[in-house]
Structure 1
Amino acid sequence: MAQDRSQLPAAQPELSSPNPLGKSDRAWTWGLSAALVVLAAVFFALTPPGLWNKLLAVGSAVCHQDPAHSFYVFGRQMPLCARCTGMYLGALLSLALHFRQGKLGGIPPRKVLIPLGLLFLLFALDGLNSLASSLGTSWNFYQTTNLTRLVTGTGAGLVIGAVLAPLFNQTAWAGWVKASALPNGKKLAVLLAAAAVIILVVYAGPQALRYPAAILSVLGVLVVLCLAYTTLALIILKRENIANSLRDLLLPLLVGLLAGSLQVAVFTFLRVWAF
């Protein structure tokens, strides 16, 4: 029986070695690890005490944190606004679904791409509508609410994960597979159903459940930044498509994590000093 070609690993150039962790890599690994520890220590020392304040500090690097556009947990403002909360929770969910299926790096078919495109379009339209309302213009089409921000933000997050995960897999792995993690409408429906649960929990669920949602949303910020910078690091370091295990990705992942953490720290401190 003929094997489905979409499940075959992508053709790769011949390599002279599988990229073992050499002396130079070990030195860089220790150096980057030390830099991460120092950066974390500085960040924790210079930001307000308490877990919630640390979450707010990280959130301030990527979000305006408008109190009127945010949800609250027992009277405390969540670290990200409604739109960003949905976006990073949606991205984390989408990335989890993709990476759970291994090294799949294929592009979804058109019947999946079109709904994903519509989700991102709704995100953009709701954002523009909200901006128009904030500026007091007369051309906003409807009253934007935290529910519309949460829903459209979550949809955009699903799209971010659906783009970032295949891009990472295509760049990182020697044996990435051409099949898509979203090959049909059924898989997309499962993803949308899980996203609906997240929306329900954040918008109408018990206050206690918003607490882990807040933590996961901030984790989503770090994961998205780390993966984006790691993908860029793989290209800059000319290490595309040579990794066979996570150990082979240790150095690029550390570069990505340090770059993402540095971005968060710089923008957090700039915001504190500027305002």
Structure 2
Amino acid sequence: MQRSDLGICGRAGYNQPMKNHPPSIAQKLSNWLVPLAALVMIATWLYIAPPGILGKADALGYAVCHRLDERSFHVDGRELPLCARCSGMYLGAVLGIAFQAITARRKGGMPPKIIIAVLVAFFLAFALDGANSYFFLMKSTYGGRLDFISTIYLPNNTLRLFTGSGAGLAIAVALYPSFSQTIWRDWDPRPALPGLKPLAALIGLMLALDLLVLPEWDWVLYPAALISAGGVLLLLTMVYAMLWMIFMRQENEFMALREAWLPLLAGLTIALIQITAIDLFRLWLTHTWGGFPLGQ
């Protein structure tokens, strides 16, 4: 092997050999059909979503969150697009993905066991607080019929925000390396989050963000509302883009994001299809863009 060949093959497991197979008929058709479908879905979603930037953010949150007023933070008397728990989860996920994109770039290895253990603990806290909060809601809504169900503690938005944030970080730490393994031709097998120091830095950033959200300052909640709602679209786009690349046999073919415009656009389009379908079904079911009308 020539020395120059090492630039292509690299370390074992680091770079993948280039794929020189010609595009299939499905891939050729997708070059035209995906942009057309994207335009249709973007126009459709913009049409059905409530007016204004926050209205569009509401439509994103509406597809994944109950949006109960008393379980949400408020800006100018208006509830955020996502409840406190979902706000924390999607803020944590966006922060985690951004952190790894800056510090890990194309690293696609999974974290060490100690980090996995910490993230599992975050998810267990998320599940425990979610279950306790759900049972409390059911007892409050349906009265004496569910008095036999006991709750561990009184739920509150502070715990919802913190436990949601922990779950969001866990999602990001799992999703980012999976995305890197799928999209990049030259992905790096080293862990995207290699040890406790970067994890501590990430948790510290998340705690700082949570502490800024809790006072419900308008100058914090406005961007937080848009970022958390955008996180819904970001996560779905990444997941569906990965599935598209696998289905179309395009994994490990790209060296830059601009080269991967088609699978990314396909992921965005499928995400909008899901969001629009859920929005329309929920709107038909409840006749409101607000929270679920429980107990009615």
TM-score scaled to structure 2, two decimals? 0.84
Any residues of structure 2 matched to 1:252-267 within 5 Å, and which? 252-267=263-278
Equivalent positions of 1:102-113 (< 5 A) are 102-113=105-116
**Distance apart, 1:30 and its partner CA:** 3.8
Tell me which moved more, 37-46 or 79-88.
37-46
Encode CA deviations 1:67-98: one digit per residue, 9 max, x unaligned. 11100001111000000000001000001111
Question: How far apart are the structure 1 equivalents of 2:255 and 2:54?
Answer: 38
Give the whole-Å Cα distance in 1 for the aligned partners of 2:262 and 2:19: 20
Distance 2:14 2:199 in 1: 27
Structure 1 distance, partners of 2:118, 2:22, is 42
Task: Give the alignment of 1:11-30 within 5 angstroms.
Answer: 14-17=17-20, 25=27, 28-30=30-32
Work out the number of aligned pairs and report it. Answer: 268
* Counterpart contact for 1:29–1:250, Cα < 8 Å: no
Aligned counterparts of 2:205 and 2:13: Cα–Cα separation in 1: 30
Q: 1:62 is matched with which residue?
A: 64
5+ residue gaps, structure 1: 1-6
- Counterpart in 2 of 1:187? 198
Which consecutive aligned stretches of 4+ in structure 1 deviate over 6 angstroms post-superposition?
19-24
CA distance in 2, matches of 1:10, 1:169: 13
8 Å Cα contact 2:85/2:157 also seen in 1: yes
From 220, 232, 241, give the equivalent of 2:252: 241
Query: What SS does the corresponding residue of 2:190 show, helix, strand or coil?
Result: coil
Residue 228 of structure 2 is matched in structure 1 by: 217
**Structure 1 stretch displaced more, 76-85 or 105-114:** 105-114
Find the partner of 1:49 among 43, 48, 51: 51
Contact 2:73/2:216 (CA < 8 Å) preserved in 1?
A: no
Give CA deviations for 1:125-176 in whole Å, capped at 9, x if unaligned: 1111111111225321111101111000000000000000011111121211
Q: Which amino acid aligns with 1:248?
A: E
**Distance in 2, Cα, partners of 1:20 & 1:225:** 29
Indicate which of 126, 133, 138 corresponds to 1:135: 138
The aligned counterpart of 1:34 is 36
One-letter amino acid of the counterpart of residue 274, structure 1: L
Larger radius of gyration: 2
CA 9–95 in structure 1, closer or farther in 2 if over 3 Å, else same: farther
TM-score, reference length from structure 1: 0.91
User: Does the CA-based 8 Å contact 2:75-2:216 persist in structure 1?
Assistant: no
**1:270/1:9 CA distance change after superposition, 3 Å:** farther
Structure 1 residue 242: deviation in Å? 2.2
SS at match of 1:204: coil
Q: Output the amino acid matched with 1:225.
A: L
> Which residue of the other structure, out of 189, 214, 220, is the alignment partner of 1:178?
189
Q: What is the rounded CA distance, in whole Å, between the counterparts of 1:152 and 1:253 in structure 2?
A: 30
Identity of aligned residues (%): 37
Counterpart code for 1:167: S
Distance 1:181 1:227 in 2: 16
Q: 1:214 to 1:145 in 2, by over 3 A?
A: same
CA distance in 1 between counterparts of 2:269 and 2:23 reads 19
Query: By how many angstroms is 1:235 displaced?
Result: 1.2
**CA shift at 1:248, angstroms?**
3.1
- More divergent stretch after superposition (66-75 vs 133-142): 133-142
Letter in 1 for 2:98: A
After alignment, is 19-28 or 219-228 more displaced? 19-28
Q: Report the AA paired with residue 150 of structure 1.
A: L
1:212, 1:27 → 2: CA distance?
38
Query: How far off is 1:185 after superposition?
Result: 0.9
Q: Which shifted more, 83-92 or 241-250?
A: 241-250
Q: Which moved more, 1:117-126 or 1:98-107?
A: 98-107
- Root mean square deviation, CA, Å: 2.1
Distance (whole Å) between structure 1 residues aligned to residue 242 and residue 52 of structure 2: 32
Residues 20 and 248 of structure 1 are in contact (CA less than 8 Å); yes or no, is this contact kept in structure 2? no
